[in-house]
Every structure is written in structure tokens, then in C-alpha cells.
Structure 1
Amino acid sequence: MSRVILYTGKGGVGKTSVAAATAAMISKKRKTLVMSTDPAHSLSDSLKFDIGSEPTKIEKNLYAQEININQAINQHWEDLKEYLTALFQYQGIDPISADEIAILPGFEEATYLLYINDYIKEDSFDTIIVDSAPTGESLRLLSFPEVMTWYMDKIFPIGRTAAKIARPLVRPFTGGMPLPSDRVFKSAETLYKDLLNIQEIMQNSEITSIRLVTNADHMSFNETKRAYTYLLLYGYPVDAVIVNKIYRENTGDFFKAWRESQNEILNDINAAFGDIKIMRGYLMEREPLGVNELLKFGMELYDGEDPYNIFKHEKPYEFEKSGDNTILKVKLPFAEKGETNLFKKAGELIIEVKNWRRIVYLPQTISEKEPMGAEFKNGYLYITLS
């Protein structure tokens, strides 16, 4: 199965250069695709190559793709979009506007993931490198399968059957309002299965690695800590932090204060992320553009390591037995008690950290247990279910 490596970080930290350099290195041994899911694509600039909306061959074993989101939505959501457009037009919205608003929130995020899912199913590439959007958009991208599948899980056990029964009965009273066809339901069900599959792949640390790119400044460092916490909350495997754009010691007296500030933050990063791989990328004499310059940058960045490797195997959460109780252990290293909420609904345990919510589906054997207590200890949230 294909290996997936996703790079994310605050805007401007250099994740596109890191992703492109990684792809260039891995392509020396394996067929590799680097794809951009950032609406403001810069992969073409980094590789100095005109990249299309389909995989474009750069050189032997190296391909790149800048996804055209409108084209992609039409490809993956054609039936659903066609139905929604007709529904909005029936409600009096002009055809152009109806076509625009038929792209519901989450369509874009899901479409990017569906591309990855397709390439893995087709075994198109040995490695898929994802140059993702800045942190907030990446978190929405990765949280979308869970949100979408939760809604569809609630709707579809009865939705399609009810529609089949109701459609002939209600059609005389709809006044021409379009009703979803079996084809629309089939399209939604296929989407549901694909999203479940890609979520499983993206959470599998044997296949997927998420790497956080940051700079040695306070704003980037703080955002990286938050991103790490939220990614772990959703069960995604983070195996490395890359600190980019570090000033070298030979940059002269003018940059002395900057170097001192960066060194302080580098010490903080080492302390905060000491249990995962930390790599350093230094400012080069010129921006690394084109495959050859990216390879130089990548060789220094990985310093003898193979970027294809998995640098950390970790389960973001796991269940443990404690007498008659069950303990859910969730790694949340930078979360705080005051910003964390916990509650249970039916067989679902909901964990909230600030604005992000994770639904943990409890195994059938403990679905009736209730949370009786929770505590933070050594970077983990321990939840006692009894």
C-alpha cells in the first residue's frame, strides 16, 4: 500500500519547500506524487515546473499535482451537486448562483481526501506527499471524514429506505420540487464508504505520517503546539516536527539577536517535542527552487535519514483495563483542564478541546459505561469509564 506523508504548518513557514524536497528525495527510489491541497498553490513555483490539475511528470518517478477544486468537485460530487443545484433552482435561485452554493461546506476538504483514496485504491504511487493548506484548513480537512460519516451514519440507516417509500406518495404534493433519486443516494453511500476508508488510512501510523513544519519564532511554535494537540485528539499520527528557516552562525552580527532568540525557541521546541523526531532546516543562500536545489535542501534537512521512514510509532489513544473499570488514555500534551470538556451520549464519548470536538465511538462491550472521572497526567488525559 502507498505511504502517505502530509506536511502542515502556519502559513509562510516553508512547508511547500519541505514537501517538494521530500518528494524529490524519495523519488530517487520510489514512484512519488507530491500534491498540493492549498488553494493558494505554490508547488509549481517551488519545482519550477508547470503543474496541472492531474498528476504531471516532473522527471523519472517524480510527479506533482495542483488540484483544481472546481474540476475535482464536479468529478467526485457530480450526482449530489446536480441534485442540490436543481433543488436550489426550484426555490427560485438563479442557475449560476444555484450551481455555486451547491458546493456545501466540507466538499473541498472531502475532495482532496478522495483523490488520496483513489490513488491508494489504484496503487498509482509508492508514496504520496501532501503539501497541505495552513494549519486551520488542514485540521478541517482531517476532521471532515469523522464529521461527515457521523451525520451519514445517523441519516442513512433509514434515509434511503424512507425515500423509496415516500417518493411516490409525496410527489403529487411537491409541486415539482426535485426529490433525491436512487443514484443520488448511491453516490452518497459510496462517498460514505470512501471517507471511512481514507480516515482509517490517515489514522494508521504504519501508512501515514503527519509532519509539522514551524519556524523558530513564538507565533509558529505556539500554533504548532496547538496543531499537535488537535491532531492527536483526532487520532492522527505525528512523527516529526521540522523547524525551518533557522539562521546559521555565520550570518554576522546584524542577525545576532535573531539567532539568540531562535536558539531559545529551539530549546523550548526540544523540551516540548522531545518524544518525536525534530529536524532543522537552515536558510540557504538562495531560495531552493527546482529539483536540484530542493535535493540539496532536503539532504541537509534530513541529515542522512531516509524521509520515507516512519520516525515515530504511536497510538494517540488506547483503552486499558483497571479492575472493573476501563481507562481511555488520550495523548493531549498541551491541552489544559479549563479548555477541555467531556460528555457522553449513547455509545459516543465526546471530547472537546477549545473549538475542536472529537467523537470516540466506544466498543460495544463498554458502550454502557459512563465517564466517572478524568485527569491530566504526563501529557495524557486519563478518562475512567465505569
Structure 2
Amino acid sequence: MSTDPAHSLGDALDVPLGPEPTEVDHGLHAALVDPRALVDGAWRELRGHLRTVLAGAGVDELDAEELTVLPGVEELLALAEVRRLAETGPWEAVVVDCGPTAETLRLLALPEAFAGYLERLFPTHRRVVRGLLAGVAGSGTAERWDATADALGRLAENLERLRDLLTDPTTAVRLVLTPERVVAAETRRTVTALALQGIRVDGVVANRLVPDPGTGAGPAADWLRTRRAEQHAVLAELADLGTGRVRTVEHRAAEPVGLPALLEIARGLYGDDDPLEGGGPRTPLVELVREDDDYVLRVALAVGDSELDLARVGDDLAITLDGRRKLIALPPLLRRCLVTGAELDETGLAVRFAPDPELWMR
């Protein structure tokens, strides 16, 4: 299925597709997510409940209407539709064709971001205290607030299930790129950004590798040799990403449209291997270890040349990489400690903590 607004999946398969799965071959179904239709349906009811919350907080009705037109809603609903189809269909595997890198990173970060906004707007402890909601916010009917609490509670549960789906060990991202230096640099940042969200990358596919001219002579052969050498240098750099094998696809004269052409690419990519087998066991995003009298919080991040910033925010550790921030809730043990240092090594980021004499039990 495709969440890419360009909807090129149907063009690649050479079959007309819609929002409901269509069987394009025996055992193979395909669908295009239509975020606009999802907004017109599922989001309309939830907007009404959010207006209830905002109006109860003293927000003018017109302002409440504007505030509930939230950016990212279409992408979030598209992701929810992926989860719905993944859980309700007879499929053995679900492959999601996503859009360009920036859009996809924003898409995959939305469940956690929306969950944070929801908790700030309407905390869990307020959602569960039913009869008090009307009095607290000055609403006219407790029933209306109870319905809103139910709807927001379901939204919170759905966001949690989305995050669980994305960070599940059986879920992985496979990056497709052209072997160019600028693209390789972006790929490194993408792998780091996904790791920051706890999402595993299990492989890289390098597309459009120019053919080997062999011993051919002439300007065309020289150009192919130079270009191929540049591409192989980039592939060598990508080999140390820690994402498993980098597979390659030769540049073809004709566009691979239709199942026969796509199967030919699949045979070249995977041969007799199982395409669903990824790049080995998953490394936990966060791991706490004891070293001498200190504690070390290890965060599995391939930082590379990324701009890194660390900050202690209450009981959270804020990690910012290239403008993307991740709040990691510190275990109770570390909340009574002070940050004494941080370093980068081959395993990622290591943040060192020492017991705070003022808080540590003597």
C-alpha cells in the first residue's frame, strides 16, 4: 500500500488502485491511502470533541474551530489506515510505499508528537474522572464531556498502538536511494533520525547503478567507468551504516512497469533469499549499564557528522540531532543522579550519571 501523495504504486504495478485493497495477482493485494477522505470522515467527529475541550477551557468558538484544523492530521490518519489494514487483512506481510525522506520522517514521528500534545491538552487523569469534567470546565452537560473523554481516550489508545506498531521488532524500514554522495549523507541522517524514534532500518537498496562497460572504449565507456567508480565509492561508505546488506539494482533502459518487470528486479535484488529477512537482531534504543560507581545510559545512535545537543529536562533526557528532538524518560534510578559526561563511540551515545549526594539514599 502507498501513503505517497504522488500515488505512483498503481503506475508501477500498471493497475488501477483505490483505497480498498485490490487483488492484482494471486495472493498479492494493493491499495492507495486517501487521506482526504479519511479527514472528511473520521476526523470530523473528533474535531467536534476537541472543540468541546477548547470551549470548556475558555477558548472562543471561532478560535476553537481554527485550532482543531491541525497540521499533520492527514498523514496521521494515513498511518492509522495502514495499521487498520495490517490488523484486519489476511496478509502475511504489509509493504508500505512511503513518500520522500522528509515527508516520511514527519509521518513516522506524528504518533509520538500527537500523543504528547493530547496529554498536555487533556491529561489522562482528567479523562478518567468522568462526572467532574463538566464542573471543571463549566460545560452544560456531563454527558457531552463523557463522550469527549471516551473519544479522546480512544485517540490516545490508537496513538499508542501506532507507536507500538512502528517500534515492533517485526517492523522495519528499508531505504531506497540512488548512490550519490549528497543522497548518502541524507541517508545517514535518516538512519539516525529513525533510530531516535526507535524505528529499525533493516536494509538499503541502491537504485540505478550504471552498467559495467567492461573493456569497451570511447567517451561513453569512459563516462560509465567513471560514474560507476563514483557509485561504488558511495556504496562502500554506506556499508558501515549498520543497517544490514546494501543491495543494488542496475539502471535499466526501460522503466520497470508491471509485475513481470518488477519480478525481474526482485530476482536481481534478492535471488533465492527471503526478501522479508532483514539485517539481523535489533539493538535496543536505550540500555542502562553499571560501570564502577557510575551508571551509563547507552543510546544506539549512528551520530556521524550530525549536530548533537544534550540537555536534562526534569526527569527526561533531551537529545537533539540535526534539529530533531527526542525526550527519553529517565528510569527512577537515574532521576536521583547527576549527568557527569557524555561520549560517542562505536555503539552510539553514552551518557554517564553519578548519584546526587543530596537525593541519594545514604
User: Same fold judged by TM-score > 0.5?
Assistant: yes
Please say if 1:117 is aligned against 2:86.
no
CA RMSD of aligned residues (A): 3.0
- 2:132 corresponds to which of 165, 168, 191: 165
Shift of 1:238: 0.9
Q: Which residue of 1 aligns with 2:311?
A: 343
Q: Which residue of 1 aligns with 2:350?
A: 382
Alpha carbons of structure 1 residues 166 and 115: separation in structure 2 relative to 1, 3 Å: closer
Shift of 1:274: 5.6
Shift of 1:213: 1.2
Q: How far apart, in 2, do the equivalents of 1:169 and 1:143 lie?
A: 32
Q: Which residue of 2 aligns with 1:186?
A: 150
Answer whether contact 2:115 2:159 (CA < 8 A) is retained: yes
Please say if 1:282 is aligned against 2:250.
yes
> Alignment partner of 1:181: what SS?
helix
Q: Which residue of 1 aligns with 2:232?
A: 263
> Alignment partner of 2:238: what SS?
helix
In the TM superposition, 1:145-156 aligns within 5 A as 145-154=111-120, 155-156=122-123
In the TM superposition, 1:236-251 aligns within 5 A as 236-250=199-213
Q: How far apart, in 2, do the equivalents of 1:242 and 1:189 lie?
A: 40
Q: How far apart, in 2, do the equivalents of 1:234 and 1:211 lie?
A: 15
Q: How far apart, in 2, do the equivalents of 1:195 and 1:166 lie?
A: 23
> Alignment partner of 2:123: what SS?
helix
- 1:326 corresponds to which of 252, 275, 295: 295
Shift of 1:109: 2.7
Please say if 1:50 is aligned against 2:16.
yes
How many residues end up aligned between the 2 structures?
341
> Alignment partner of 1:190: what SS?
helix
Query: Percent identity between the aligned chains?
Result: 26
Unaligned 5+ runs, structure 1 = 1-34
Q: How far apart, in 1, do the equivalents of 2:119 and 2:338 lie?
A: 22
Tell me which amino acid in the other structure corresponds to 1:231: L
Answer whether contact 2:109 2:197 (CA < 8 A) is retained: yes
Shift of 1:280: 0.6
Answer whether contact 1:203 1:235 (CA < 8 A) is retained: yes
> Alignment partner of 1:267: what SS?
helix
Shift of 1:117: 2.4
Greater CA deviation, 364-373 or 82-91?
A: 82-91
Q: How far apart, in 2, do the equivalents of 1:68 and 1:264 lie?
A: 40
Tell me which amino acid in the other structure corresponds to 1:167: A
Q: Which residue of 2 aligns with 1:36?
A: 2
Tell me which amino acid in the other structure corresponds to 1:165: L
Q: How far apart, in 1, do the equivalents of 2:339 and 2:45 lie?
A: 42
Q: How far apart, in 2, do the equivalents of 1:274 and 1:343 lie?
A: 27
Answer whether contact 2:133 2:145 (CA < 8 A) is retained: no
Q: How far apart, in 2, do the equivalents of 1:76 and 1:370 lie?
A: 46
Shift of 1:180: 6.6
Shift of 1:116: 2.8
Please say if 1:297 is aligned against 2:265.
yes
Q: How far apart, in 2, do the equivalents of 1:112 and 1:170 lie?
A: 32
> Alignment partner of 1:146: what SS?
helix
Shift of 1:351: 0.7
What do the CA deviations read for 1:280-338 (whole angstroms, capped 9, x no partner)?
Answer: 1111231111111101111101233211113222223322222343212122223447x
Q: Which residue of 1 aligns with 2:359?
A: none
- For the pair shown, the structure with the greater C-alpha radius of gyration is 2
Shift of 1:43: 0.6
Q: How far apart, in 2, do the equivalents of 1:85 and 1:283 lie?
A: 53
Please say if 1:195 is aligned against 2:164.
no
- 1:67 corresponds to which of 33, 45, 50: 33
Alpha carbons of structure 1 residues 220 and 347: separation in structure 2 relative to 1, 3 Å: same
Q: How far apart, in 2, do the equivalents of 1:347 and 1:245 lie?
A: 47
Q: Which residue of 2 aligns with 1:308?
A: 276
- 1:273 corresponds to which of 241, 247, 267: 241
Tell me which amino acid in the other structure corresponds to 1:329: R
Shift of 1:273: 2.5
Q: Which residue of 2 aligns with 1:210?
A: 173
Tell me which amino acid in the other structure corresponds to 2:188: K
Shift of 1:254: 4.4
Answer whether contact 1:343 1:371 (CA < 8 A) is retained: no
Answer whether contact 2:309 2:320 (CA < 8 A) is retained: yes
Alpha carbons of structure 1 residues 286 and 135: separation in structure 2 relative to 1, 3 Å: same
Alpha carbons of structure 1 residues 350 and 101: separation in structure 2 relative to 1, 3 Å: closer
Answer whether contact 2:247 2:269 (CA < 8 A) is retained: yes
Shift of 1:52: 0.2
Shift of 1:244: 0.8
